[in-house]
Amino acid sequence: MHADAPADLVFTGGPIHTVDPVRPRVTALAVRGERIIAVGDDEVHDLIGADTEIVDLHGRLLVPGFQDAHAHPVGAGIEMGQCDLSGANSTQEYTARIRAYADTHPDHGWITGGGWSMEAFPGGTPDRHLLDTVVPDRPVYLVNRDHHGAWTNTRALQLAGITRGTPDPADGRIERDPGGHPTGMLQEGAMHLVADHIPAITLDEQLDGLLRAQSVLHAHGITAWQDALLGDHASTADPAPAYLRAAHDGTLTARVRGALWWDRARGLEQLPELLERREKYTFGRLNAHTVKIMQDGITENHTAAMLTPYLTACGCASDNSGISFIDPAQLAAFVTHLDGEGFQVHFHALGDRAVREALDAVAAARRTNGWTDNRHHLAHLQVVDPADIPRFRELGATANIQALWATHEPQMDDLTIPFLGPQRAARQYPFADLLNSGATLAAGSDWPVSSPDPIAALHTAVNRHEPGSKRPVFLPEQRITLHAALTAYTAGSAYVNHLDDTGTITPGKLADLTVLDRDIFAHPADEIAAARIQQTFVSGRRVYAAPDA
């Protein structure tokens, strides 16, 4: 301690949960400039000078800043300004919101937005005729909550030239009525058939969306994230230029790892473009050394790639086992080349076949290139075959979990479990099995697919149950401890984000910190979700403060 070099900022009155196994709990820490200079107890007070800002925690909990390992903030921020259907859960609410938005935006040629839930519609698939009754004269394109499908009206289908004779794309499906006519529901790659006709979002609109989303994430205690899609996909315009502008003008206050989109319709010929984009979009707090590969879809629409077929409504085996968007042999070759060029690969893998194919691709890269520090990770992991659980540790592949999905709710109980069958349904979101096998866990939200709130995610990871729900605990044997869940959302995500000077509260690391309104370790596990964020700091600078902070 040097009394002649006081700290700029001192937190005292703990508790402070450091996520550092050497010194897991302290009551004070000091920050000078961007970095933590001391962690301890009363001795840290020696660094308080005349100009030191003192934050008295008053018993509130200080933790490392949360990091979201899989999110889509720019798209989320843009959708907040469009026809926002999130939070509603009935056709009546949806039609009321769509009608109100259309009435208040008469100059918009297209009605776009989304956030609707599949469980609000029979079979999870709405019909164009309902939209036609609300907006008959303008095209409507509304993505669902998970962004793997879009609900369109008749006018949108007409503009896109989609008819009874339009074939399904290789990576998607046009839902059809018994007569073969399009219903207006487009799954996966079929979304492009309409989305490609929507006027492009401007850079200014993207920047507004980014800054709107950044404020939301800071208010949830998030100091860094991995954007899981930098590129053009469906109705989502490439957010990379918005990030770059914000990084240059200083409005990007978070740290962002951007995952460059792998176009599954192309092959290795896109590698030079990815290398150019990596260099172009790495600046300041923005880093683009990751490539995102989406290997399958989702279970609810039966496009997640499974080792055995889905069941039908009567419980019989169907002829559909989902879609592997990239041939497994090609996937291995692509990942090997990307790994050789120093890219981290961020896989979307929900079904057990997609998980195996992604792990096989990592194994192929290891055989060819040896062990690298690229830190490949697999996101979502809804169903994992038991034989593949230990491979995460063996291959150094991180399990990127979205804890909010591991619970009984209508989409799970009505649209997923009956079509997986009991054996596969019991293998969903195996957090404890992965952790016990020695795998590294990172955590994210997939916002706007689900809430960006890490407190809610911690609650679900620990309890496998939504707060206040009367439904049973979801696979209770897969519950993990609060410490493990918090570590995944801090140090684990910092690891996959290559932010090695963040993630724990340790001298020398960046002062990315979050203050909660209570010590969640001192309360019952079923009260975790009641906690709220009080303050958020990035590099020792306060980027969010609650009104009562």
Q: List, in order of start, the domains of the chain with CATH numbers.
A: 9-64+507-545 (2.30.40.10), 110-195 (3.10.310.70)
CB hemisphere CA count around 452 (13 angstroms): 30
pLDDT in tens, 401-419: 999 999 999 899 998 999 9
Residue 236: pLDDT over 80: no
Q: Which two tokens stand for residue 26?
A: 């302290």
- What's phi and psi for 545, nearest 5 deg? -145, 130
> Where residue 1 falls among pLDDT bands split at 50, 70, 90?
very low
pTM of the model: 0.90
Task: Name the β-bridge partners of 29.
Answer: 11, 39
State mean pLDDT over 291-319: 95
**309, 317 Cβ separation under 8 angstroms:** yes
Strands 398-401 and 377-380: parallel
> Where residue 234 falls among pLDDT bands split at 50, 70, 90?
low
Instruction: Dump the DSSP string for 475-508.
Output: SGGG---HHHHHHIIIIIHHHHTT-TTSSS--TT
> Dihedral through CA 100, CA 106, CA 110, CA 112, nearest 10?
-30
Cα–Cα dist 478/404, whole Å: 13
Q: Which two tokens stand for residue 190?
A: 């079929």
Cis peptide before 15 (omega within 30 of 0): yes
User: Mean pLDDT score of the chain, rounded to an integer?
Assistant: 95
Helices then strands, counting H and E runs in the chain, come out as 18, 24
In the chain, the amino acid numbered 170 is A
What pLDDT sits at residue 50? 95
Q: Which two tokens stand for residue 113?
A: 């937005």
Q: Which two tokens stand for residue 398?
A: 């991180």
State mean pLDDT over 123-127: 88
| First CA to last CA distance, the chain | 29
pLDDT in tens, 362-380: 999 999 999 999 999 999 9
State mean pLDDT over 302-313: 96
Residue 484: pLDDT over 90: yes
pLDDT in tens, 136-164: 999 999 998 888 899 999 999 999 999 99
Q: Which two tokens stand for residue 264?
A: 């599954």
